[in-house]
């Protein structure tokens, strides 16, 4: 496994743009333009295909189309075939944690509105 900066044009994404919530992509695109970069690295296989970070990829592409100086290169982590299972397991755990945190934030917000 290695992390590096690579040209956005060198990355392939197998999940099309139309699969994602356009409002979320627009918000993320604006944030990428405002910060000048994508903060979270994309996870790629050895063929530079996105394994994780599909929505981030499309937001970075959109940001680059709006401002060619933004996201020309992005940070990626390239995993080997032998590492893919362990990486998928780790990502699954991270996504589950993020979902729990989102649910908890929604719960707290609801509690504030009912008090």
- Report pTM: 0.76
Q: In the predicted model, is pLDDT for residue 64 greater than 60?
A: yes
Query: Same structural domain for residues 16 and 64?
Result: yes
Tens of pLDDT, residues 20-49: 788 989 999 999 999 999 998 999 999 999
- The CATH number linked to 14 is 3.90.1530.10
56 and 88 share one domain: no
Q: Specify whether 22 is located in the same domain as 75.
A: yes
Same-domain status, 23 and 47: yes
- Percent with pLDDT over 90 in the chain: 50
Residue 36 lies in domain: 2-79
Own/partner pairs for 31-36, CB < 8 Å, 24+ apart? 32/59, 32/60, 32/63, 32/70, 32/71, 33/63, 33/66, 33/67, 33/70, 36/70
């Amino acid at each position: 496994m290695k992390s590096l900066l690579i040209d956005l044009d060198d990355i392939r994404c197998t999940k099309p743009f139309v699969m994602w919530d356009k409002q979320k992509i627009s918000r993320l695109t604006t944030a990428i333009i405002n910060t000048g970069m994508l903060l979270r690295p994309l996870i790629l296989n050895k063929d530079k295909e996105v394994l994780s970070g599909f929505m981030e990829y499309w937001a970075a592409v959109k940001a680059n189309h709006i401002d060619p100086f933004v996201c020309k290169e992005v940070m990626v982590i390239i995993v080997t075939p032998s590492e893919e299972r362990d990486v998928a397991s780790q990502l699954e755990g991270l996504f589950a944690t993020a979902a729990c945190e989102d649910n908890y934030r929604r719960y707290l917000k609801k509690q504030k509105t009912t008090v």
